[in-house]
């Protein structure tokens, strides 16, 4: 299963990078969303996918899934949500001020050179 997950993670990263390299600001934000999904799945996969029981104590169970990566991912999910929310609002404001979402036009002005 880890092999398939590794490929899925690769595809997620690839799609994320492709979107991040585009000129549209909205696509870049979509890309960062995919990137964080990729990172979370990578964390989970690296911890091993062979656990047969969720990490909640239960009678007679010994084979729990690794809890540590899960705790790490939970933290990461919350943080990436905070950042994504911030970015969406930033995008909203940027578009409101600059009236464009074309990254090629957001270069600063030449007067500063």
Partner 1 sequence: MSLEFVWFIFLPILAAIIVPFLFRAIKNIHTGWFVLIVPVVLFIYYARFVKGILNGEVHISELPWIPSLDISFTAYMDGLSILFSLLITGIGALVVLYSIFYLDKQREKLNNFYVYLLMFMTAMLGIVQSDNTISLYLFWELTSISSFLLIGYWFTRDRSRFGALKSMMITVFGGLMMLGGLVLLSIMGDSYSIRELIANSSSIVGHDYFTLAIVLILLGAFTKSAQFPFYIWLPDAMEAPTPVSAYLHSATMVKAGLYLVARFTPVFATSELWIWLVTGIGLLTLFWGSFFAVKQTDLKAILAFSTVSQLGLIMSLLGASAVAYHVTGEQAAIFKVAAFAAIFHLINHAMFKGSLFMVAGIVDHETGTRDIRKLGGLMSIMPVSFTVAFIGSMSMAGLPPFGGFLSKELFLTSMLSLREFNLFNFDTWGIVFPVIAWIASIFTFVYSFYFVFKTFTGKRKDHELPKKPHEAPLGMLLSPIILAITVVVIFFIPNMVGKAFVNPAVVAMQTGIYTHPGDVGIQVSAWHGWLAPEFLMTLGVIAVGALLFLTMARWQKLYDIQPQYLTLNTLYDSLMIFGETGMNRLSRFYMTGLIRTYFIYMFTFIVTITTGALFIQDAFAVDMNSFSPVNAYGLMTAIILIIAICMVLFAKTRLTAIIALGGVGYSVALFFVIFKAPDLALTQLVIETVSVALFLLAFRYLPSLKSHGETKKIRVGNLLIAAAVGVTMTLIALSAHSQKLIPSISQYYKDTVFTEAAGGNIVNVILVDYRGFDTLFEIAVLGIAAIGVYSMIKLRLSRKEKSDESE
Q: Footprint of partner 1 on residues 38-57 (CB under 8 A)?
A: 38, 40-42, 44-57
State which residue, 60 or 107, has the beta carbon closest to partner 1.
107
Q: In angstroms, rounded to a whole number, what is the distance separating the alpha carbons of residues 16 and 13?
A: 5
Number of shown-chain residues binding partner 1 (CB under 8 A): 85
- Which whole-number Å values give the CA distances from 18 to 23, 51, 95, 103, 107, in the listed order? 11, 33, 22, 15, 21
Distance CA 75, CA 107 (A): 34
> What per-residue string of b and e applies to 41-55 under the rule 16 or more CB within 10 Å gives b?
bbbbbebeeeeeeee
Of 2-21, binders to partner 1 (CB under 8 A) are: 2-21
Task: Tell which positions 46-105 bind partner 1, by CB under 8 A.
Answer: 46-57, 64-68, 70-71, 73-75, 77-79, 81-86, 88-93, 95-97, 100-104
Q: Assess 111 for contact with partner 1 (CB under 8 A).
A: no
- Nearest approach in angstroms of CB 58 to partner 1 is 8
Q: Cβ of residue 52: shortest distance to partner 1, in angstroms?
A: 7
């Amino acid at each position: 299963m880890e092999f398939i997950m590794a490929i899925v993670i690769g595809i997620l990263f690839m799609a994320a990078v492709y979107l991040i390299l585009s000129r549209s600001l909205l696509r870049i934000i979509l890309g960062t969303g995919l990137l964080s999904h990729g990172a979370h799945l990578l964390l989970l996969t690296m911890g091993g996918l062979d656990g047969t029981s969720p990490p909640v104590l239960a009678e007679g169970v010994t084979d729990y899934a690794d809890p540590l990566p899960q705790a790490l991912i939970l933290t990461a999910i919350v943080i990436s949500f905070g950042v994504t929310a911030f970015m969406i609002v930033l995008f909203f404001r940027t578009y409101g001020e600059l009236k464009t979402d074309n990254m090629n036009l957001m270069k600063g002005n030449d007067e500063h050179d």
